[in-house]
């Protein structure tokens, strides 16, 4: 671990960013040239003291999980991320297989989408980050780990929970779409990749998946008109639009409702109430 190089790099990247670059509000009396240390710590979900020690060349070697969080917080490019890993004493992660890194360009767009549900997904359907509206609509999945992070995996292994967000008459179509999307990722990543591991695990755990996998459906369908079922607000009709990274390993999915519709009103209510439990009878 090169403490001097890591500390210098973190300070340089922090100073090069403005609050608006990462979706934060700039205060009227702000004197800091770039981001404050506590802001970087907040974005990376770590303590300010821990981050400060890294910048002061006296912290412990950060784990790969900590480095992934810092790469997201500081909006690092793939080359910058790889450099940070190496000076921190770790090997650079695989750019295709790794799912903790999030493309800075997608994050910048997501930061500006505050009025409609939006989330960034990996090629395996893993939710990498959600805005508040998406958390209110889909639920907060940030605590999930391993294959459970993938909506594809959960669709077949936790159907009673995952499929409640879709009308029952749309379940078959969604099952085919999930399998087709994983087949597309499998074709890119290969049988010995994490995609291959997920396929083998799903074939073992789900007869439905195993049967659909044998049909060799291939598709990366994100743009769609669908109905989602919120546990409190009921059905919400949305249009889905997708923005891919250049290598197509990640996608920003934005859900919108037609103006002046019941669905649009429900999304506005989600934005007001956030992830709070909505109970009409509560006074």
- pLDDT tens track for 33-42: 788 899 999 8
Q: What is the pLDDT of residues 51-73, one digit of tens each?
A: 999 999 988 899 988 998 899 88
More confident residue, 258 or 114: 258
Question: Is residue 85 predicted with pLDDT exceeding 50?
Answer: yes
**Confidence tier at 182 by pLDDT (50, 70, 90):** very high
Say yes or no to pLDDT of 242 above 80: yes
Spatial strand order of the sheet with 127-130 comes to: 127-130, 118-122, 250-256, 234-244, 224-230
Q: What is the pLDDT of residue 118?
A: 94
Q: Round to whole Å and give the CA distance between 270 and 135.
A: 9
Region 223-230 average pLDDT: 87
- Tokens in use for 14? 């922090």
Higher pLDDT, 264 or 31: 264
Q: Are residues 116 and 170 in the same domain?
A: yes
**What DSSP line would sit under 176-243, residue for residue?**
HHHHHHHHHHHHHH-TTSHHHHHHHHHHHH-HHHHHHHTTT-------EEEEEEETTTEEEEEEEEEE
Q: Are residues 78 and 49 in the same domain?
A: yes
29 in any annotated domain: yes
Tokens 């769609």, located at residue: 224
Q: Are residues 58 and 187 in the same domain?
A: no
Q: Are 153 and 194 in contact (CB under 8 A)?
A: no
DSSP class of residue 282 equals -
| CATH number of domain containing 17 | 1.10.260.40
Q: Is 57 a domain residue?
A: yes
User: Would residue 98 count as lying in a domain?
Assistant: no
Q: Give yes or no for residue 112 having a pLDDT over 60.
A: yes
Q: So what's the pLDDT on residue 222? A: 67
| 137 shares its domain with 70 | no
- What is the pLDDT, as a whole number, of residue 220? 74
Distance of CA 130 to the CA centre of its chain: 6
Paired sense of beta strands 250-256 and 118-122, if any: antiparallel
d(CA 45, CA 43): 6
Residue 279's pLDDT band, with cuts at 50, 70 and 90, is very low
> What CA–CA distance (Å, rounded) separates 258 from 260?
7
Do 135 and 75 belong together in one domain? no
Q: Which of 279, 259, 122, 105 is nearest to 198 (CA)?
A: 122
User: What 3-state class would DSSP assign to 56?
Assistant: coil
Is a pLDDT exceeding 80 seen at residue 101?
no
Q: Which residue has the tokens 């008459």?
A: 169
Select from 202, 200, 180 the least CA-distant residue to 191: 200
What is the mean predicted confidence (pLDDT) over 149-158?
A: 95
How many structural domains are present in the chain? 2
- Give the pLDDT score at 27: 64
In a domain, 260, yes or no: yes
Give the residue with greater pLDDT, 225 vs 198.
198
The two most distant CA atoms of the chain are separated, in Å, by 62
Which domain range does residue 254 map to? 104-278
Q: Is residue 99 part of a domain?
A: no
Measured between alpha carbons, how far is residue 30 from residues 26, 35, 64, 132 in Å?
A: 7, 10, 32, 26
């Amino acid at each position: 671990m090169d403490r001097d190089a890591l500390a210098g790099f973190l300070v340089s990247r922090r100073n090069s960013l403005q609050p608006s670059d990462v979706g934060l509000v700039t205060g009227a009396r702000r004197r800091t040239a770039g981001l404050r240390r506590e802001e970087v710590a907040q974005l990376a979900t770590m303590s300010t003291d821990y981050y400060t020690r890294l910048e002061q060349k006296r912290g412990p070697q950060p784990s790969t999980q900590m480095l992934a969080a810092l790469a997201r917080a500081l909006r690092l490019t793939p080359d910058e991320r790889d450099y940070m890993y190496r000076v921190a004493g770790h090997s650079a992660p695989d750019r295709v297989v790794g799912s903790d890194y999030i493309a800075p360009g997608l994050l910048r767009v997501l930061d500006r989408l505050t009025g409609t549900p939006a989330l960034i997904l990996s090629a395996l359907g893993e939710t990498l980050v959600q805005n508040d509206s998406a958390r209110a609509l889909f639920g907060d999945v940030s605590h999930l780990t391993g294959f459970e992070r993938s909506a594809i995996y959960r669709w077949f292994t936790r159907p009673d929970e995952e499929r409640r967000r879709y009308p029952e008459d749309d379940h078959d179509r969604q099952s085919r779409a999930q399998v087709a999307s994983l087949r597309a990722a499998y074709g890119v990543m290969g049988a010995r990749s994490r995609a291959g591991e997920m396929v083998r695990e799903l074939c073992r755990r789900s007869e439905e998946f195993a049967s659909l996998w044998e049909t060799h459906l291939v598709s990366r369908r994100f743009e769609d008109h669908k109905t989602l079922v919120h546990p409190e607000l009921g059905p919400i009709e949305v249009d889905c639009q997708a923005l891919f990274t250049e290598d197509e390993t990640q996608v920003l999915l934005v859900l919108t409702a037609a103006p002046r519709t019941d669905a649009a009103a429900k999304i506005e209510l989600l934005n007001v109430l956030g992830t709070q439990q909505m109970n009409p009878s509560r006074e």
